[in-house]
Structure 1
Amino acid sequence: MKKLFISAAVLVMSLTAAAQEAFSAYSPYSLFGIGQIESVGDQNTAAMGGIGLGLRDPGLINLLNPAAVTAREKDAFMVDFGVKQTNMLFAGADAEGQLAKSAKNLFNIDHVVASFPIYNHSAFKVGIMPYSNSGYAFTFHEYKDEVLATLGDVQYFRTGQGGINQVFAGAGVTLFDRLSLGADGIFYIGTIKRSTSTNFNTNEYQRTASRSWTVVPRGFSAKLGLQYEQPLGERTSLTVGATYKVGSKLKGSYTDVAYATGGNYTDTTLNNSYSVEYKIPQEIAVGFTIRRTDSWMFGFDYTRQDWTKSVFDPTPGVNFSTGVAQSFNAGLEFIPNRYDVRYYFRTVTYRLGAYHKTQYIMIDGHQVTTNGITLGFALPVYNRRTSVSFAVDLGQTSLAGAASITTPGNVRERYVKFSMGLNLYDLWFQKVLYN
């Protein structure tokens, strides 16, 4: 079984690296800054609206709070990885102000993480998951009469691809039975590529003017977490959790290339490389859960990150600025009878949740906002701790306060995300007794 865990972890890490060559996200809003910030968590927390700051479950690896790594059986070893299918429908105004629609489907490996005990009430974890993603591709034709009269048919292309991953390792310890502390060290690594092209398609003036930007950022950060568990009765408890992520600076190389092509020639008009630095602000989060052992659990989280002092490269033609990112998450789970031996589906964990988020991206003073509802379940297998989890996320992203989806710059994204995760659980160093 241990060899299975190690082989699975190595395989998924390899696949995760390979997946970076394809679109890992798709959204017009990822055109700005370092792209859209990804939600933290696995399929279990995703099914509950993304909560997890106060979550302590010995059968799960909690990715939201470093202190939760100590919620485990003494000799437990766990590996968790997940995949995600995203179906999106976009609606917004085209260059002429008319309503236009499009759709996109994506499949990605989401995360991989392993956790194992260190000594007594302490444990360690290591893993990789996305931090931000940038992915878009759209085209439109020139519609202004004065331009058409001079240049004829002109077509514009905009593409973007890439993102930033976070590789992390952390440990935690439980003190005085109720207080748990933890810390994660985080290394950011990634590549973001963006390009624009303008095609002049008339026979008399046929050529293409293109420009591409590539940024390769690197950086370090740390996340501190604590959890305090207070019994409220024989089987009921309240757990309060909080995390603080240290602000960091992403530094790296930035390459800017511009060139023109026409017929059989290519003329490079610009080729510059220089260093860049992006500020990632500190993040503060608090949350709680109320749990009745082996029956039900309810939780709520709040997260805040002030991006107003972060400066990114401007986007020509768009009034882009940064704001305060916040998220409100609520969720619950219910288990009819974890130890039922007659009816399997009574041992299944059923989950439900909802969330409201404001992203750091602002366009013309309107902040990008996301709302969604979630649901899912976990199917227990081998020893009731190993499980296969499923989550469905139905949501919408748009500009808050925009009059309609035909407002310039406003794109309504409606999406359905299907995710599946496998949590492998085993016990190390057990003594087998024989009569």
Structure 2
Amino acid sequence: MKVIDKIHFLIVSICLLYTTGISSQNMTTSPYSMFGIGELTDGQYGQHAAMGGVSVGMRDPILINSVNPAGLTGLDSLRLVADATAFVKNEWYSSRGTQTSATSGNLSSFSMGGRIMPRWYMSAGVYPYSTVGYYFRTKESVEGTDGSYYYSTFEGSGGLSTASLSNAILLNRHLSLGVTLSYVFGNITQTETQESMTVAQKMYTNAFNARFGLQYTKQLANDLGVTVGLTFGYKQKLVLDNTTTVQTSSASTERSRKSLTQYIPPFVGVGASVTHKRITYGADYTFRKYSTLVSTDNRVTFRDIHEVKAGISYLPATYQSESYWRRVSYKAGVSLSNPYLSVSGKDGFSWRVSAGLGFPVSNGRIHTALFYDNTQLTGNTLRSSALGLSVSYTLSELFYKVKL
């Protein structure tokens, strides 16, 4: 296939992905997704979700690295790789004695990539960035009365997604440089209902953003390889166009309000992976400056995130002549961080454990990840947990024919 045809193929692919409407809706049921730009999605999709989400220093012949674009140069140079991920999870929340639970799930990401020409690799994909999804009711007494109450219902949906185009250059045998250009888009709808009146606020935003990556890889011995990586992104302003609709039993009024300003926070991440024989070890550290986000509730503030991830993968054999179960990969991982939300000045701690299997199938693999999340703020302000399953299907098709 000619170079120009390959570029057209990937660009058309990302346009098709955009029009399919893959979004971050129905990916959470957290009442705390009502703040800021929603609940941030990270480590919930992809081949290494079972390894705690490690990615900065990872590379593989069938891995489309959405976190560090420099890792694309590790793709099989003769094949086109496509990857799709879906998940389902059940979440539990408790705050000051009130408890709720709900189940959510969705197709969370789709991407494809491969080599364009010698040393040049490209991928296109749609990924979730944040998600909003909540529904709860409150009961308040009517002032000046005895035994009279009114109820308020709060509901929210939507979120932000990114349509991304990544390019990576293999500078030499060991060093790779990559850049991801992303179109961030989405809408958030928040509704409050009291008796016969409903106030609905719909916010829409779009912006362009970029992230950059670097990887250095070296084979130290026949059965020992090391890769180190670096990735970073800058602060990007988001202007949210804001429309409010007020509906009563007798009339409906729509009006545009002053636009809101939020930000995609800057970040920097470092990571490394070591492959020894059939075992791969990986670890990441990421800093995200989420304190740049603006809170509209004086009880809620945003905190900078420090996150550490570590994971391990074991693949007994790769040859087709081996038994099926010896070609299954076994993965496990853990991630630790502080929550990006602080409620009434209360900070806390978040952790995730995960494990999964990678099953070989015709022209690809199916990766599964069972994960458990837990976040707790001090003072019984908030406690949340989630148990979920992520499934990623990776297809690897021959893209080039070798001439003998």
Percent identity (aligned):
25
Aligned length: 394
Q: CA deviation at 1:14?
A: 7.5
Match of 1:300 among 279, 283, 288: 283
Describe the SS at the equivalent of 1:330.
strand
Describe the SS at the equivalent of 1:59.
coil
Q: Which residue of 2 aligns with 1:17?
A: 21
State how 1:237-248 maps to structure 2 within 5 Å: 237-248=225-236
CA distance, structure 1, for counterparts of residue 348 and residue 31 of structure 2:
11
List per-residue Cα deviations over 1:379-421 (Å, max 9, x = no partner).
Answer: 11225xx11111111111232xx133xxxxx232221111111
Q: CA deviation at 1:173?
A: 1.1
| Equivalent residue letter for 2:259 | S
- 1:349 counterpart = 2:329: yes
CA distance, structure 2, for counterparts of residue 41 and residue 308 of structure 1:
23
CA distance, structure 2, for counterparts of residue 351 and residue 332 of structure 1:
6
Native 8 Å contact 1:378 1:390 kept in 2: yes
State how 1:4-43 maps to structure 2 within 5 Å: 13=17, 17=21, 23-40=26-43, 42-43=45-46
Describe the SS at the equivalent of 2:356.
strand
State how 1:31-430 maps to structure 2 within 5 Å: 31-40=34-43, 42-93=45-96, 99-142=97-140, 144=141, 146=143, 148-149=145-146, 152-199=148-195, 208-261=196-249, 265-266=250-251, 268=253, 271-293=255-277, 295-312=278-295, 314-315=296-297, 319-339=299-319, 341-367=321-347, 369-383=349-363, 386-399=364-377, 402-404=378-380, 410-430=381-401
Native 8 Å contact 1:354 1:372 kept in 2: yes
Q: CA deviation at 1:224?
A: 0.4
Native 8 Å contact 1:132 1:164 kept in 2: yes
Q: Which has the larger radius of gyration?
A: 1
The 3 A distance-change label for structure 1 pair 342 and 231 is closer
Q: 302-311 or 418-427, which moves further after superposition?
A: 302-311
List per-residue Cα deviations over 1:93-133 (Å, max 9, x = no partner).
Answer: 3xxxxx33322111200100010211112210000011001
Describe the SS at the equivalent of 2:325.
helix
CA distance, structure 2, for counterparts of residue 228 and residue 299 of structure 1:
14
Q: CA deviation at 1:273?
A: 2.7
Describe the SS at the equivalent of 2:47.
helix
Q: Which runs of 5+ in 2 are unaligned?
A: 1-8
**How big is the alpha-carbon RMSD for the aligned residues of Structure 1 and Structure 2?**
2.4
List per-residue Cα deviations over 1:16-38 (Å, max 9, x = no partner).
Answer: 51666x52321011010001111
List per-residue Cα deviations over 1:211-270 (Å, max 9, x = no partner).
Answer: 222110111111100011133322212111010112111123111333443xxx2364x7
CA distance, structure 1, for counterparts of residue 272 and residue 22 of structure 2:
37
Q: CA deviation at 1:281?
A: 2.1
The 3 A distance-change label for structure 1 pair 360 and 424 is same
CA distance, structure 2, for counterparts of residue 230 and residue 133 of structure 1:
38
CA distance, structure 2, for counterparts of residue 178 and residue 18 of structure 1:
36
Could you state the TM-score of these two structures normalised by the residue count of structure 1? 0.84
CA distance, structure 1, for counterparts of residue 252 and residue 328 of structure 2:
63
The 3 A distance-change label for structure 1 pair 209 and 36 is same
CA distance, structure 1, for counterparts of residue 384 and residue 53 of structure 2:
19
Native 8 Å contact 2:352 2:371 kept in 1: yes
- Deviating beyond 6 angstroms after TM superposition, the runs of 4 or more aligned structure 1 residues are 9-12
Describe the SS at the equivalent of 2:208.
strand
| Equivalent residue letter for 2:281 | F
CA distance, structure 1, for counterparts of residue 35 and residue 371 of structure 2:
24
CA distance, structure 2, for counterparts of residue 169 and residue 18 of structure 1:
16
Describe the SS at the equivalent of 1:403.
helix
CA distance, structure 2, for counterparts of residue 216 and residue 267 of structure 1:
21
Describe the SS at the equivalent of 1:30.
helix
List per-residue Cα deviations over 1:148-202 (Å, max 9, x = no partner).
Answer: 438x231111111100001100110112200111000011000001111222xxx
Describe the SS at the equivalent of 1:17.
coil
CA distance, structure 1, for counterparts of residue 309 and residue 130 of structure 2:
19
Describe the SS at the equivalent of 2:312.
strand
Q: Which runs of 5+ in 1 are unaligned?
A: 94-98, 200-207, 405-409
Q: CA deviation at 1:45?
A: 1.2
| Equivalent residue letter for 2:372 | L
Describe the SS at the equivalent of 2:317.
coil
Could you state the TM-score of these two structures normalised by the residue count of structure 2? 0.90
Q: CA deviation at 1:357?
A: 2.4
Q: Which residue of 2 aligns with 1:205?
A: none
Native 8 Å contact 1:74 1:121 kept in 2: no
Q: CA deviation at 1:340?
A: 6.3
List per-residue Cα deviations over 1:289-316 (Å, max 9, x = no partner).
Answer: 11125x011111011111223324x13x
Native 8 Å contact 2:79 2:400 kept in 1: no
